[in-house]
């Protein structure tokens, strides 16, 4: 055998013995150990414990401005501060102005209740907002929205067999969230069906519940638990 081949064999033998010596007997090498470890970073992020960052403020700790805003809220809504208004109470003026906008968009919108609630569910899905979904799912069903349509929205699918009005609302809201705008064709249909006020109200509901979703997601406000209301699955980030 030539000296060249002897040198190659000797170098290969030394290299192999060096690699093996880095790993304990019966254990994979360092590189294999790394690849064998489960990727827990994503799992840990998804399994992050829910922590209410801005829970209800005890009455004794309310500032005079917060107490005044809380009393005004209770007088207007007939209930103590709840849901997204709990974290919003940290800024009393913002909370009261948000309440005022919500009083119209939630209770006086020019859109029929079923369609108005449909817009809220679409927005809740966009933000994976469980509180909004938990509150408004039963309201939407009671208003006449088909449960299969709500289920498709929850699963991130385009619902099948939507009535014409619901299909138009779905297309309008989906374009608005996805493209940050609405196509001429969809806009024209929406104005023809709902009028300019209806279009503005629909934009308003999308924007208002997006704002509340931002607050709720940041504050990590727990979702309500209600029998018969399916939870909203989280979408992968």
Share above pLDDT 90 across residues of the chain, in percent, rounded to a whole number = 72
Q: Which of 139, 178, 185, 148 is nearest to 166 (CA)?
A: 148
Buried (b) or exposed (e) across 10-22, using 16+ Cβ within 10 A? Answer: eeeeeeeeeeeee
Quote the CA–CA distance of 123 and 139 in Å, as a whole number.
Answer: 15
Please write the tens of the pLDDT for every residue from 216-225.
999 999 998 8
Question: What average pLDDT does the chain have?
Answer: 84
Please tell me the distance from the alpha carbon of residue 130 to that of residue 134, in angstroms, as a whole number: 6
- Domains within the chain, CATH numbers bracketed: 55-108 (no CATH), 110-237 (1.20.1290.10)
pLDDT tens digits, one per residue of 64-113: 999 999 999 999 999 999 999 999 999 999 999 999 999 999 999 999 99
Return the pLDDT at 77: 95
Q: What is the pLDDT of residue 10?
A: 39
Residue 234: predicted pLDDT:
82
For 139-197, what is each residue's pLDDT tens digit? Answer: 999 999 999 999 999 999 999 999 999 999 999 999 999 999 999 999 999 999 999 99
pLDDT band at 114; cut points 50, 70, 90: very high
What does the pLDDT read at residue 173?
A: 98
Q: What is the pLDDT of residue 237?
A: 56
Percent of the chain exceeding pLDDT 70 equals 78
Q: Rounded to an integer, what distance in angstroms lies between the CA atom of residue 97 and that of residue 92?
A: 9
Which pLDDT does position 229 carry in this prediction?
A: 84
- Determine phi and psi for 30, rounding to 5 degrees: -60, -40
pLDDT, tens digit, for every residue of 11-52? Answer: 444 333 343 333 333 333 333 333 333 333 333 334 445 689
For residues 113 and 208, the answer to whether their CB atoms sit within 8 Å is no
Which pLDDT does position 227 carry in this prediction?
76
């Amino acid at each position: 055998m030539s000296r060249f081949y002897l040198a190659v064999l000797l170098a290969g033998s030394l290299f192999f013995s060096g690699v093996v010596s880095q790993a304990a007997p019966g254990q994979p090498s360092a590189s294999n150990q790394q690849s064998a470890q489960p990727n827990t970073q994503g799992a840990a992020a998804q399994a992050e414990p829910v922590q209410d960052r801005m829970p209800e403020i005890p009455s004794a700790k309310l500032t005079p401005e917060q107490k005044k805003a809380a009393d005004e809220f209770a007088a207007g809504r007939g209930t103590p501060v709840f849901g997204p208004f709990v974290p919003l109470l940290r800024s009393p003026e913002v909370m009261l102005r948000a309440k005022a906008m919500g009083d119209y968009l939630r209770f006086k919108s020019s859109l029929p209740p079923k369609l108005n609630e449909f817009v809220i569910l679409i927005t809740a899905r966009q933000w994976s907002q469980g509180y909004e979904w938990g509150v408004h799912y039963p309201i939407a069903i009671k208003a006449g929205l088909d449960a299969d349509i709500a289920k498709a929205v929850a699963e991130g699918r385009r619902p099948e067999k939507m009535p014409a009005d619901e299909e138009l609302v779905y297309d309008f809201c989906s374009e608005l969230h996805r493209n940050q705008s609405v196509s001429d064709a969809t806009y024209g249909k929406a104005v023809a069906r709902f009028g300019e006020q209806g279009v503005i109200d629909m934009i308003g509901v999308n924007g208002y519940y997006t704002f509340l979703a931002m607050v709720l997601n940041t504050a990590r406000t727990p979702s309500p638990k209600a029998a018969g209301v399916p939870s909203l699955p989280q979408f992968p980030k």
